[in-house]
Amino acid sequence: MKTLDTYTYYSDKKARRNQIFLPQNLVSFLEEGEKIVHYAEHKKTITKTHFAILSAGNCLMTEKLPVDNSYRSTMLFFDNAALNEFFIKYGSMVNKISSGTIKTKRPLLVFKKDDFIQSYVDSLKIIQSKPLDFSQKLLQLKFEELMLHLLEKYTDEMLSFQAEKQEEYADFQIRKAVELNITNNLTLQELAFLCNTSISTFKRKFIKLYNTTPSQFFLRQRLKMAQTLLVHNENPSEVYYKVGYESHSSFSQSFKQAFGITPKQFQQQNLDVSRQFLND
């Protein structure tokens, strides 16, 4: 039996990045604040001008409060049975509008709110106050209403939506998760969680794939990226953030330990070499 549910979530407390297991798929209509979501191969920042569709499974989630305000989101939960039933019921329509070229499956979709969505969120809040029997019947209709709207407006994106795999990730999936999160400053525990493995299994597979430890790999990759940005005259005080460091001082320290000079000195050396080349 398909399951649908809705409620409005409110918080006035700062929330750090948390490991979340979503037992059902979720449509999150953000009304106040900001949400940052990580899946193994995807990362999105969601503001109150957008809404997101998240698949069931493991993800990392951070909720940011606006200044002097609260975090608020109206949510609609739906399971795979509800989604499958919708696509079966409207199968002929899907076949007519589908481009037939959907290859990449995505567990996270983000869309901009339009007038339809604004009204839709208001209607969900009204349903929340209804008796259970009535609310369930209304939610079934509201779910189809939303899916039809999104299918018409974002056909390929909606057909690409897929729940995250719950089995252990294969080596190539772990490689994708690692390389797409180089600058996201995720911990080893968080990466293992996103890949549905234990820390020990993730670390063992990582060393097998990269022939080095995770800490050494991420350090090397971030510093290589930093060098490229510095050569292209990026400000060192901005580079640290772009390559995944939490502070300028920790970035400068790591850079100097690796190369013997500070980021600013490295940038100056390359600038001097360039000038000399142009003058020769």
Q: Do 81 and 209 fall within a single domain?
A: no
Together in a domain, 69 and 122: yes
Residue 159 near residue 97 (C-beta atoms within 8 A):
no
pLDDT of 168 reads 55
Q: What is the pLDDT along the chain (280 residues), one digit of tens a residue?
A: 458 999 999 988 877 889 999 999 999 999 999 999 999 888 899 999 999 999 998 999 988 887 667 899 999 999 988 888 898 888 888 888 876 665 567 889 999 999 999 999 999 999 998 887 888 889 999 999 999 999 999 988 898 886 555 555 678 778 888 988 998 889 999 999 988 888 999 999 999 999 999 999 999 999 999 999 988 888 888 898 889 888 888 999 999 999 899 988 888 887 665 455 435 4
- The verdict on residue 165 lying in a domain is no
End residue of a domain, out of 135, 160, 185: 160
Let me know whether 136 and 13 are in one domain. Answer: yes
pTM of the model: 0.73
Q: Report which residue type is found at 79.
A: D
| Same domain assignment for residues 8 and 122 | yes
Range of the domain at 228: 171-279
**Boundary (domain end) residue, out of 114, 134, 160:** 160
Q: Helix %, strand %, coil % for the chain, to 5?
A: 50, 25, 25
Domain total for the chain?
2
Judgement on whether residues 240 and 111 belong to the same structural domain of the protein: no
Which residue from 61, 39, 56, 52 is spatially nearest to 3, judged by alpha carbons? 56
CA distances from 263 to 58, 182, 225, 270 (A): 37, 19, 12, 11
- Asked if the structure places residue 166 within a domain, the reply is no
CB-count exposure of residue 150 (10 Å: 0-12, 13-18, 19+): buried
Cα–Cα distance measured from residue 30 to residue 19, given in angstroms and rounded to the nearest whole number? 19
Tokens, residue 80:
């795979």
**Boundary-marking domain end, from 128, 160, 192:** 160
Write down the pLDDT at residue 27.
96
CATH number at 268 reads: 1.10.10.60
Is there a single domain that holds both residue 47 and residue 177? Answer: no
